[in-house]
Amino acid sequence: MYSENIENANQTDSQILLFGCDPTERIVSVEPAGDRAVIYIRDSDGVRIEEDKFTPWLIAPEKYDIQGACWSELEGDHYYKFLAEFPNWNAFAAARFSLRDQHLSHHAQPTAVRHYLLRSGKTMFKGMSFSDVHRMQIDIETLGFSPELPESEIFLVSASDNRGFKTLIEGSEKEILISLVDLIRELDPDVIEGHNIFGFDLPYITKRAEMHGIKLAIGRDGSEMTRGRDQSVAIGGTSRSTAAFHVHGRHLIDTLIGVQRYDIARGALSSYGLKEVARALGIAEKDRVIINHTEIASTWRTNPDKVRTYAMQDSLETKSLSELISPPEFYLTQMIPDSYENVAVSGNGEKINLLMFREYLRRRHSIPQTQPSAEVPGGYTDVRITGLVERVVKCDVESLYPSLMITYGIKPESDTLGVFLPMLRELTRRRIEAKSKAKSSTGAEHDYWDGLQSSFKILINSFYGYLGAPLNFNDPAAAEKVTTTGQATVKKIAEELEKTGSKVIEIDTDGVYFQPPPDITTEEDEVNYIAQIGSVLPKGIKLAHDGRYKAMLSLKVKNYVLVTYEGEKTFKGSSVRSRADEGFGREFISKAVDYLIRGEKEKVAELYAQMRSDIEKKRMPVEMFARRERITEKTFTSEAKAKLAEAAKGARIGEFVMVYRKEDGSLEQAENYNGDEDTQHLLDKLYKFACRLREAFGSDFDKLFPKPSPKTKAEAAGQQTLF
């Protein structure tokens, strides 16, 4: 649809760097096996199949005497200097087993898809927009939460797709599973989506089909869905493990994983459950039906239509959620030599590594060994003013680290072909172009350009992290040069601000919050002033106006509240907002912030006193002090989670439960509350919430918020006062 990004002939070097040397468009899946690769292409007539030769490979520092290998020497002097190619996948697998068994150094990609795409120069989805791909959503409803129990049947499946189809599948469990297989084969989707599909739906479907002797033959070639070893999922700076499934010719996308990755930079969601996410992101279905997961089976018996509506809304909200969060990963797949389902769970550093690998292998050049990890200094952060500050402006350096790398030519020393920086420059150029086109377009065209610029942004912001990561072209020394140069840059900005009469409030890596001089009053004044400050920076480093605020409540590094001139508030940092906080803590912080912004410190103390009294006299509703806990496999296997496991019996993996602490120290689900909460624990928690705001009160804090003592509980029946 919008294929002007992909030239079909006379490709430029930058085009090849980012998208590979093969311009084939509209590939929706690649399935290499044996010595052939099956390529599925979606065109105006549907999906057609092409075949190509498949040659698995690995690289090594020297030639080894292993059966089936055809060796060739690569150019350059990097560690992995020899390329071994194999006639088919079985020969490669046997060779790799032999190398591992002999502890011989080598490097091999883990999947056949990567093997093929890295050498062929092909990528998926070229020339397609996100809406061009056929996506199907499924959701199951069950009579229990343990699929191995005979009575825990699947009694309903809802399904939809992005072409307007929607249906419910009912009947006996065996009939439902057979119908689901038939439906997938009939619709023939490129992508199957579900919320927590890896953690619940697919494992459950697999187990129940096995019990009935049903083959889940939903592959495009008629093959059965297979389960592999658990896969590592990159979410921000952490990795989590989840089940891995594969369907021939199709991609499996879990929107639960997707929304967690989407929210890393934003930190705006307090829960990742489908209903809560849909409501928070404004995509909830009209007249949304809510049923507690423990009540679904009983509601099905008494009000089946309510459950039918609930289930259908689950599928439709999954579709809407995917349309919001998935496009960046989709458009990344147009560049990255990997499958969509792998791009959606892999780390961004790994994506850059694949781009580097592809170009070096295309030029038949040797590849370096990963450098040992080294500690790299972080960005410069500092808080110079705490408390309430009015009339606040933020300036920041646009893409600080990528800009520094381009301006100062900072790249991995091992990048002897000079691929790294040209790739970064081209991504930056294309993102600016895509952002411009997104602003000037509407509808599907806007969505295309916005998704594309987001995918470019993801990679651009990962080039610095790549330098310090354990990847082939890493360079900790170069990473340190970036951060130290960044520190000097932001300190220079703060120095110029103070020199010209501004009061610097907080410095955080690439930006500065400050109160401008009295004569800077309008937004135009602020923009011009920041341009003046930015003129002292090197060419290529652009300082931009990044926000203006009526007030800022500054607490400590990366913990503050911003208030716009329209009255909207932004909370930053765990001191002011955390999804792990109990309801009463969130309410205390929220109201306290409002009072502080209005200069009414005494009302915060009154609020504290009122909440303490409510806790002591057990007037606080259980919903206010229950904690939201996510159920994972570790919930039922870790000794540290034993109390939660006891309280969460019956809950399924991936779900959330509300639990509170009882007087005896055990946990209980909120729905079973019996006036038995641990009040001393809650008083301690309330005090800790107040401590988060200590900087706003200065020396008055201890007088206004005395620390609770063990005797407080015994005194609960008496009249309490803070003063």
- Portion of the chain with pLDDT greater than 90, in percent: 76
Pairing of the two strands 251-254 and 191-194: parallel
Map residue 75 onto helix, strand or coil.
strand
One domain for residues 136 and 224: yes
Smallest CA-to-CA distance from 249 within 29, 79, 408 is with 29
In a domain, 563, yes or no: yes
Tell me: pLDDT of 689 over 50. Answer: yes
Q: What is the pTM of this model?
A: 0.85
Q: Helix, strand or coil for residue 188?
A: coil
Mark whether 268 and 160 lie in a shared domain: yes
- Looking at residue 170, its pLDDT comes to 97
Q: What is the pLDDT of residue 3?
A: 38
Residues 492 and 562 in one domain: yes
Whichever domain contains 273, its CATH number is 3.30.420.10
Q: Is residue 721 part of a domain?
A: no
Under 8 Å CB-to-CB from 337, ≥6 apart: which residues?
Answer: 20, 114, 117, 118, 122, 123, 354, 355, 357, 358
Assigned domain for 136 exists: yes
Could you report the per-residue pLDDT of 616-630, keeping only the tens digit for each?
999 999 999 998 887
CA distance 139 to 267: 27
How many domains would you assign to the chain? 3
State which of 296, 327, 358 marks the end of a domain: 327
Enumerate helices (H) and strands (E) in the chain, giving the number of each. Answer: 25, 23
277 and 160, same domain (yes or no): yes
Residues 148 and 274 in one domain: yes
Model confidence over 192-230: pLDDT tens digits?
999 999 999 999 999 999 999 999 999 999 999 999 988
Place of tokens 């932001």: 490
**The predicted structure's pLDDT at residue 361:** 97
Q: Are residues 556 and 650 in the same domain?
A: no
pLDDT at 523: 96
pLDDT bracket for residue 269 (50, 70, 90): confident
Is residue 541 within 8 Å of 485, Cβ to Cβ? no
Between strands 191-194 and 511-515, the pairing is: unpaired
Residue 271 forms part of a structural domain: yes
pLDDT, averaged across the chain: 91
Of 103, 56, 64, which Cα lies nearest the Cα of 82?
64
Q: Kindly state the helix (H) or strand (E) to which residue 298 belongs, with its residue range.
A: helix 296-302
Q: Give the pLDDT score at 8.
A: 37
Is residue 140 assigned to a domain?
A: yes
The CATH number assigned to the domain holding 479 equals 3.90.1600.10
Question: 627 with 572, same domain?
Answer: no
Which helix (H) or strand (E) covers residue 681, if one does?
A: helix 679-691
What is the distance between the alpha carbons of residues 703 and 608, in angstroms, rounded to a whole number? 12
Q: Three-state SS across 364-405?
A: CECECCCCCCCCCCCCCEEECCCEEEEEEEEEEECCHHHHHH
The reply to whether 622 and 668 lie within a common domain is yes
Q: Is residue 159 part of a domain?
A: yes
- The residue out of 327, 355, 383 marking a domain boundary is 327
**381 — pLDDT class (breaks 50, 70, 90):** very high
- Residue 263 has what pLDDT? 86
Verify that 390 and 247 share a domain, yes or no: no
| Closest residue by Cα to residue 161 from 122, 186, 124, 189 | 189
Average pLDDT (353-377) is 95
pLDDT score for 654: 64
> What is the per-residue pLDDT across 94-112, written as a single tens digit (0 to 9) for each?
999 999 999 999 999 999 9
User: Which has the higher per-residue pLDDT, 74 or 238?
Assistant: 74
Residues 573 and 606 in one domain: no
Higher pLDDT, 463 or 718: 463
* Least confident range of 112-116, 437-441, 479-483: 437-441
pLDDT at 10: 39
For residues 181 and 268, membership in a common domain is answered with: yes
As a whole number of Å, the CA-based R_g of the chain is 29
CA distance 157 to 167: 8
Question: What is the per-residue pLDDT for 22?
Answer: 96
* Same-domain check for residues 537 and 607: no
Does the residue 179 lie in any domain? yes
Mean pLDDT over 415-426 rounds to 96
Give the per-residue pLDDT at 12: 61
Spatial neighbors of 20 by CB under 8 A, at least 6 apart, are 117, 120, 121, 122, 123, 335, 337, 358
At residue 364, the pLDDT reads 97
pLDDT of the residue at 638 = 82
* 648 Cβ contact partners less than 8 Å away, ≥ 6 residues apart: 629, 631, 635, 657, 659, 669
| Confidence at 181, pLDDT banded by 50, 70, 90 | very high
pLDDT at 679 over 50: yes
Mean pLDDT of 57-78: 97
Last residue of a domain, one of 513, 547, 579: 579
DSSP letter for 200, please: I
Instruction: Tell me which residue range forms the domain holding 214.
Output: 130-327
Which pLDDT value is given to residue 710?
A: 62
Identify whether 7 is part of a domain.
Answer: no
